[in-house]
Amino acid sequence: MSRKTGILISGRGSNMSALIEAAKGPGYPAEIAVVISNNLDAEGLKYAEEAGIATAAIDHRAHDSREAFEHVVDAELREHNVELVCLAGFMRLLTAEFVDGWRDRIINIHPSLLPAYPGVSIHERVVNDGVRISGCTVHFVRAEMDMGPIIAQAAVPVLPDDTADTLAQRVLTSEHRLYPQALRLVADGRVRVVHERVVFADPETESAPLYVPALRGNTR
């Protein structure tokens, strides 16, 4: 039985699109029930609507506080019987109250190998620091920004001639592969959180969400 999933976005929602397409596959354990954006003009809303998914635009600026905004978001998620929440380019920090209300049922993707490089301007920082390997991480959300038990990671090489833009595109390609796999594991009940670490159901599951750098010729 598919678990109803809500996706929160703020922009074009490329990771949202990857999740929607994955959920169309036979036997995928999550059903995308609703897409919610805090940006009324988010491009991702149109994509979701064309895919036949319910959408809601909830302008955070129309509310007096973060808590008031989140109350409306929470009500919308529950209206659609959502069990899991995916953040996909959602550019709002969530309060501890909201996160605790969805504890171990809300996941996020971040474009670095956490705990390295939390925050913003990740790719610029990686290139400037001369890092050789970067990547992306899917994790359970906690109140602290870019913190929480790690579910899955994908590594990509940082090439000598990389710019922030070329690295960002390589990482994004891995994000589109990793996020649907991580949601599959969570929705299938094949991962759980024990003492703030993810525990996998079996050795096969444990190796599933790990990707390593490709050879140079296959990275573009």
* The two structure tokens encoding residue 45: 């809303």
110 catalytic? Reply is yes
Pairing mode of beta strands 197-200, 106-110: unpaired
Task: Name residues whose C-beta falls within 8 Å of residue 34's C-beta, 6 or more positions apart in sequence.
Answer: 6, 7, 53, 54, 55, 56, 76, 77, 80, 82
Q: Which of 60, 71, 80, 110 is catalytic?
A: 110
C-alpha 14/C-alpha 38 separation (Å) is 16
Where does the chain have alpha helices with state H?
14-23, 43-50, 66-79, 96-101, 122-129, 164-187, 203-207
Question: Tell me, what amino acid is at 146?
Answer: D
DSSP 188: T
Give the residue numbers annotated as catalytic, written as ranges: 110
